[in-house]
Amino acid sequence: MNNSAITLRLAQLGDLTQLSKVEQTCFSSDRLSKRSLKHWLSAKHALFLVASSQKEIVGYGLVWCLKGTRLARLYSLAVMPAYRGQGIAQLLLSELEQLTQRKGRAYLRLEVSALNHAAISLYRSLGYQVFGAYSDYYGDGSEALRMQKRVARFDGKGVQLQVPWYKQTTEFTCGPAALLMAMHSLEKSTMLRQIDELAIWREATTIFMTSGHGGCHPVGLALSAIKRGFKARVFLTQLSALFLNGVRSEEKKQVMCTVHDEFIAQAYNLGCELNETPLELERLYELLKAGYGVLMLISTYRLDGKKAPHWVCVTAIDEHCVYVHDPDLDASQQAIDCQHVPIGLEEFSKMATFGKNRLRAAIAIAKLS
């Protein structure tokens, strides 16, 4: 068949019945329900492309552009059996790559069954590379290969660290989880486990936040690293007590001030370097190149619409993006969506500023020489 007989266009709500037929025909397990397909047809950050022949939908491709990042994920790709082997999947994927790039995304990622040799061959031929795997990922127990391709038209030059990803086990321990990742990247004997995550939280918490459990203080996290045999440098735009504007109770404010003052006193006693200045991107590059593990506080507003302070672990930087491990995995995500997440430099600079006081906080740790 000539590919000119195939038409590519964006999917519409009126395609739902045909799309459901394609889904049921192409997959025997892990199918998208009709309800899920309807959701993706109207999802703001989805790219839903269909391939049709004489008005009949014979295949589709679905990409999810992660909000606030340079990362996109191929969620599903399907071609009806009678039309396979004719280059339709390649047409769909190539067009999705272009659409993904126009949306400002730098990377397109996917998961594919290790048993699906035809699909793996297709992805490899288009420049996708394996960068990890999930065991027992699919309903039949098969392994999933994790593949990605840089779809933006540039070659990044920068520095990257080998950092493991660790999922925070509570809603309030992003700081300890990020610190564990950074410490393990420098010292492999550091355990990535909940008992250590909670121990660090107890040491570093500010006791109170705007709501819920207390979050971790930058200096408190740095002190936890020092107590575990690392040296630490803190970059903080204010050395007075943090997050007071979000707390109404004067009693709670007094407690937060007491904890803050004690952290500062311990920092001076233990040789923790305190810099009353933000960690700019140029300095971040220098620290990563020197082998430091770096944690940065961001506002999650550009990720999830919530104005919450959140710790992430930086894994790399190049001329276009900062890459982070985000320890917070929500129900709508796969672990791959939180690993080495590329964020444009300008966007990251905005993310790394929190609240009305434009607080900026970062911690750089290294092994003792």
**Residue 308: CATH number of its domain:** 3.90.70.10
Return the CATH number at 76. Answer: 3.40.630.30
Structure tokens at 280: 């700019």
356, 225: one domain: yes
75, 166: one domain: no
Phi and psi angles of residue 244, each rounded to the nearest 5 degrees, phi first: -70, -30
pLDDT in the model for residue 142: 80
Confirm whether pTM is higher than 0.85: no
pLDDT in the model for residue 354: 83
Phi and psi angles of residue 157, each rounded to the nearest 5 degrees, phi first: -125, 125
Domain boundary residue among 118, 153, 188?
153
135, 196: one domain: no
pLDDT in the model for residue 233: 98
21, 101: one domain: yes
Number of domains within the chain: 2
- Whether the Cβ atoms of residue 260 and residue 241 lie closer than 8 Å to each other: yes
Cα gap 362→222, rounded to integer Å: 10
80, 106: one domain: yes
Domain assignment of residue 201, given as a range? 160-367
177, 324: one domain: yes
54, 127: one domain: yes
pLDDT in the model for residue 342: 84
Please name the helix (run of DSSP H) or strand (run of DSSP E) that holds residue 201, with its range, or none: helix 194-204
pLDDT in the model for residue 154: 41
Tell me which residue has tokens 């295949």: 59
pLDDT in the model for residue 338: 87
20, 91: one domain: yes
* pLDDT tens for each residue of the chain, 369 residues long: 455 589 999 999 999 999 999 999 998 877 899 999 999 999 989 999 999 998 899 999 999 998 878 889 999 999 999 999 899 999 999 999 999 988 888 889 999 989 889 899 999 999 898 887 877 777 777 888 989 898 875 445 789 899 999 999 999 999 999 999 999 999 999 999 999 999 999 999 987 665 567 789 999 999 999 999 999 999 999 988 887 877 788 888 898 899 999 999 999 999 999 999 999 999 999 999 999 999 999 987 666 666 678 999 999 998 888 999 999 988 767 787 888 888 888 889 999 998 778 899 999 999 997
Q: Is 126 exposed, middle or buried (0-12, 13-18, 19+ CB in 10 A)?
A: middle
Domain boundary residue among 121, 153, 185?
153
- Whether the Cβ atoms of residue 237 and residue 213 lie closer than 8 Å to each other: no
185, 261: one domain: yes
331, 220: one domain: yes
Domain boundary residue among 130, 153, 176?
153
List own/partner pairs for 322-328 with CB under 8 A and 24 or more apart. 322/281, 322/284, 322/348, 323/160, 324/296, 325/163, 325/165, 325/166, 325/178, 325/181, 327/165, 327/166, 327/167, 327/168, 327/173, 327/174, 327/177, 327/178, 327/181, 328/167, 328/168, 328/174
206, 333: one domain: yes
